Amino acid sequence: MQKQDWLLKLRKVSEITTLEKIIQRKEDTLSQENLIVFYSASDHRLAEIIAGKYFDKVPSHMWRYVR
């Protein structure tokens, strides 16, 4: 899957705790290269949840809020 595919699936999630649970589950099941793409999408979604809106490209100032 590509980042956009993961992001569309992750947009169904609206809480950070749920997103963290999904990340933990995927760490065990995905290959290393797919996991990198998944992490990118999950970080993007985390920034969206924190900001309360959707982004095509996350603004650089938002990354300081993503841990």
State pLDDT tens for residues 38-52. 999 999 999 999 999
Q: Burial, 49: exposed, middle or buried (Cβ in 10 Å; 0-12, 13-18, 19+)?
A: middle
Non-local (6+) Cβ contacts of 66 within 8 A are: 43, 46, 47, 50
CB atoms within 10 A of CB 20: 13
The count of domains in the chain is 1
Q: The domain spanning residue 60 has which CATH number?
A: 1.20.1280.40
> What domain range is 27 assigned to?
3-65
What is the structure's pLDDT at 67? 79
pLDDT tens digits, one per residue of 12-63: 999 999 999 999 999 999 999 999 999 999 999 999 999 999 999 999 999 9
